[in-house]
């Protein structure tokens, strides 16, 4: 059984837990640095990136995630998780892990279309994914090491940089588990 952690400070961590359990994983809810022991991958859920970041800034918790990632632990950030992974956040000094070489814009689709669904074509997947966007960010810029896996309205919404994966939407809110399966493949690739 794959042992996968879900950062459980705030946001949609229970929904991620359900998908991972359906896919046969043992799920650890990660609330402190000690919960990182023995997990093979980590999901950072959607929610409120400032609230999650405040906790990560305490007691070296975020630094310990950065270290674990540097040692090879794959990390997948969704929505607020994508914001927390990015190196640069437009107009904000809030805490971030900076594991993804990208510039992110929060609440980027504007007020009129704060929340919406769309069918996305994903690089490497045969059929479209129904994606749920909730006050979603997008990436304005990525470095050449970042592989763009999906765009919506010409905005970058799903990327991979080695063992770091990030999407602007909420894959845990639909029945389609292919995005989580994609992450578990990266986990298998990096953890053997
Ligand atoms: N707007 C939120 C933020 O900036 C992200 C929204 C989400 O995770 N659904 O943190």
- Span 45-78, pLDDT tens digits: 999 999 999 999 999 999 999 999 999 999 999 9
Does pLDDT of 34 surpass 90?
yes
pTM higher than 0.95 = yes
111 labeled binding residue: no
Active-site residue numbers?
79, 170, 172
Q: Give the domain range for residue 162.
A: 3-191
Domain count, the chain: 1
Distance CA 141, CA 174 (A): 28
How many C-beta neighbours within 10 Å does residue 9 have? Answer: 20
Q: How far is CA 46 from CA 78, 88, 117, 185, in A?
A: 5, 18, 16, 21
Taking the CA of residue 134 as reference, the ligand 1 atom at the shortest distance is: 9
Instruction: Determine the pLDDT at residue 114.
Output: 82
Please state the atom number of ligand 1 nearest to the C-alpha of residue 81: 8
Secondary element (H or E) of residue 50: helix 49-56
CATH of the domain at 33: 3.40.50.880
State if residue 74 touches ligand 1 by the CB under 6 angstroms criterion: no
Q: Is 83 in the pocket of ligand 1 (CB under 6 A)?
A: yes
Is residue 178 a known part of a binding site? Answer: no
106 lines ligand 1 (CB under 6 A): yes
Ligand 1 atom closest to residue 79's alpha carbon, by position in its atom list? 8
- Pocket flag, ligand 1, residue 46 (CB < 6 Å): yes
| CA 137 to ligand 1 centroid distance, Å | 7
Closest residue by CA, ligand 1 atom 5: 80
| Residue 125 contacts residue 35 (beta carbons within 8 Å) | no
Q: What is the pLDDT of residues 76-135, one digit of tens each?
A: 999 999 999 999 999 999 999 999 999 999 999 987 668 999 999 999 999 999 999 999
Q: Separation of 133 CA from ligand 1 center, angstroms? A: 9
Residue 130, Ramachandran bin (φ over 0: left; ψ between -120 and 50: alpha; else beta): beta
pLDDT at 112: 63
- Contact, 157 vs 121, CB < 8 A? no
The ipTM value here is 0.94
């Amino acid at each position: 059984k794959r042992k996968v952690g879900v950062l459980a400070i705030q946001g949609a961590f229970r929904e991620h837990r359900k998908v991972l359990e359906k896919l046969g994983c043992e799920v650890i809810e990660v609330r402190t640095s000690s919960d990182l022991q023995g997990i093979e991958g980590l999901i950072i859920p959607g929610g409120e990136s400032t609230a999650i970041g405040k906790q990560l800034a305490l007691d070296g918790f975020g630094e310990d995630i950065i270290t674990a990632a540097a040692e090879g632990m794959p990390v997948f950030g969704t929505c607020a998780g994508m914001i927390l992974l990015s190196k640069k956040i437009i107009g904000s000094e809030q805490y971030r892990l900076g594991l993804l070489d990208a510039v992110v814009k929060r609440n980027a689709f504007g007020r009129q279309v704060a929340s919406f669904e769309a069918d996305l074509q994903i690089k490497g997947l045969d059929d479209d994914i129904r994606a749920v966007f909730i006050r979603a960010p997008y990436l304005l810029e990525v470095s050449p090491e970042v592989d763009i896996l999906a765009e919506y309205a010409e905005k970058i919404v799903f990327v991979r940089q080695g063992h770091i994966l990030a999407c602007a939407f909420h894959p845990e809110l639909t029945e389609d588990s292919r995005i989580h399966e994609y992450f578990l493949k990266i986990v298998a690739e990096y953890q053997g």
